Structure 1
């Protein structure tokens, strides 16, 4: 038995290698009898010498492609880590379908159903055939103030909308509300909500549980909005049916999101390349919303945020709208507005050396 360590540059690399719900780690265990897990910013591989060496080669090959900026689909990632899926010879169509029976269009019996990022079976749209939000009861939402009214109007008219401003202004909540309403009306087939995973003061490697359990707290604000709008049971049903998908930003690579309402939350925590990757996922008959608060940037100081960069690059585009929320738009506790304004003002502590605090 041996154990080796592969340094990771970002937590997203751990997500890339381990896969949704540790899917790739489990497949590597089945294939090579090795355990692959992340700890303290590193990837660890443990098992027989031969299996560890083979797993290391596959993982380093995948990381090499990713670090060169290659966009990889889920099938490509799985092919690198596990190997290409075996293909079966075409079946004899004269005997494969009994007389009088029918076969679903576009899929033969030999073709495995496509999987979404969570490993669940999904149709071409990402939602289970027949699944919809047509009968969902949504909590009524009314704009509070002019900026929220403008924001909701843009969410119905523009293909790409930026909602930027301090916490508590309703950026994400209103976007989710508009998305669920559009799903209910049949305008879109699914809702995709994503967030970048930034460690924000805690390293995921120190947290208990598998990778998916570690990611759940990062997604909790999204679920809070969904549960408040349509209830936990309805949100769970729609997620299980593939109508709603909540996932880290790393899982958006290599995808084209068509007939979908797509929300990127916490956009200030994307790098420029991540923001470009996300925006170019926009498919036919889809709408995208990016929310963020530039004052709560959790990126390393030397890393430029993709949110202000995108706002500058896309300024003046005809089908792109943006709303800049102000502290006066905050709809949380009245004290929150005062706190935000206090942090926006020049702080004496910023001018003092940390050692003097």
Structure 2
């Protein structure tokens, strides 16, 4: 519970030591970040967080702490990404909408972390996947495009809304050189599918993932394996779709069967196709955006949820491309 103690000071009472540790961060790093963002002074004294400064600074810092309440009350660490997303929401007058993110817990990871959209555009993306049979997610690296789709797919599988999950991506870099790589065909393409395995392992753990793969409940395969199939009662995720040709994109989109849905993700700034060849993702998003049952979600560097440096790298390259 929070209470005003004096002019220029606000006190937030924390429920337990786990909340205090989660809010303050290792070496009180999170509190220092809050101070840098707001100009207020924050001091944790037992289970009391004192926020001091000018009225505007105290108000801003308090609002940020309150927006982060669903995280720290659960003992979940507050990251710089979470702080920046909350700050952006406050600055754009969408603090109330940001507070609703806490109600969208999709799952809990193997490490015990609550998995939910962390930015407002991620929230829109999750809601689009829930409401549409075909969703395109276009944005830079680190914006959670593939991970959130995998989380939702696993959730729907657990709820028996689908019978299987199919994860696929083009192995563009391999091309005609697959034969020079060691191993059988699956071993040759596995390196290109590793990000999809990583997402499954974080959600289900390696053992359960391996069991579901063995049973065929989860299928991870290169895009070429999709030709000629009808994918019924499935959640299909096409990753790295910027590297599909127009023909490949048309092929995979027409595989969608009864009671299925598909999510197509990609970063149109990282196309590895031969120079001058149109990306199937760019074409499909433009062509299908206004069709009923289709949603196109565009994420930006502000939605990057990896290391904070990734956001700055993305912004630097974006500025270079605009020159």
Among 185, 206, 211, the alignment partner of 1:237 is 211
Structure 1 unmatched ranges of 5 or more: 1-136, 351-357
Give the structure 2 partner of residue 165 of structure 1: 139
Residue 277 of structure 1: how far off its partner (Å): 0.2
Among 144, 149, 154, the alignment partner of 2:123 is 149
Higher helix share: 2
Give the structure 2 partner of residue 295 of structure 1: 269
2:271 matched to 1:268? no
Give the structure 2 partner of residue 54 of structure 1: none
CA deviation profile, 1:13-65 (whole Å, cap 9, x unmatched): xxxxxxxxxxxxxxxxxxxxxxxxxxxxxxxxxxxxxxxxxxxxxxxxxxxxx
Residue 261 of structure 1: how far off its partner (Å): 0.5
Structure 2 unmatched ranges of 5 or more: 1-106
Question: Within 5 A, what are the aligned runs for 1:245-256?
Answer: 245-256=219-230
Give the structure 1 partner of residue 69 of structure 2: none
Distance 1:169 1:273 in 2: 27
Q: Does the aligned pair in 1 maintain the 2:140–2:267 contact within 8 Å?
A: yes
Question: Within 5 A, what are the aligned runs for 1:192-203?
Answer: 192-199=166-173, 203=177
Distance 1:197 1:329 in 2: 26
Question: Which sits farther off after the overlay, 210-219 or 291-300?
Answer: 210-219
Distance 1:211 1:283 in 2: 27
Distance 1:138 1:241 in 2: 23
Distance 2:302 2:226 in 1: 34
Among 179, 187, 193, the alignment partner of 1:219 is 193
Residue 203 of structure 1: how far off its partner (Å): 4.2
Q: Does the aligned pair in 2 maintain the 1:138–1:180 contact within 8 Å?
A: no
Q: Does the aligned pair in 2 maintain the 1:138–1:230 contact within 8 Å?
A: no
Distance 1:344 1:180 in 2: 33
Question: Within 5 A, what are the aligned runs for 1:12-51?
Answer: none
CA 1:220/1:303 → structure 2, altered by over 3 Å: closer, same or farther? same
Q: Does the aligned pair in 1 maintain the 2:150–2:199 contact within 8 Å?
A: yes
Residue 197 of structure 1: how far off its partner (Å): 1.1
Q: Does the aligned pair in 1 maintain the 2:289–2:296 contact within 8 Å?
A: no
Give the structure 1 partner of residue 152 of structure 2: 178
Distance 1:200 1:210 in 2: 14
TM-score by length of 2: 0.63
SS at match of 1:193: strand
Q: Does the aligned pair in 1 maintain the 2:149–2:263 contact within 8 Å?
A: yes
Distance 2:281 2:290 in 1: 16
Distance 1:202 1:144 in 2: 40
CA 1:218/1:174 → structure 2, altered by over 3 Å: closer, same or farther? same
TM-score by length of 1: 0.57
Give the structure 2 partner of residue 336 of structure 1: 310
Q: Does the aligned pair in 2 maintain the 1:138–1:181 contact within 8 Å?
A: no
Q: Does the aligned pair in 1 maintain the 2:167–2:238 contact within 8 Å?
A: yes
Give the structure 2 partner of residue 56 of structure 1: none
Aligned residues: 213
Residue 205 of structure 1: how far off its partner (Å): 3.8
Distance 1:200 1:253 in 2: 18
Distance 1:332 1:315 in 2: 28
CA 1:278/1:347 → structure 2, altered by over 3 Å: closer, same or farther? closer
Q: CA RMSD in A?
A: 1.9
CA 1:312/1:235 → structure 2, altered by over 3 Å: closer, same or farther? same
Residue 302 of structure 1: how far off its partner (Å): 2.7
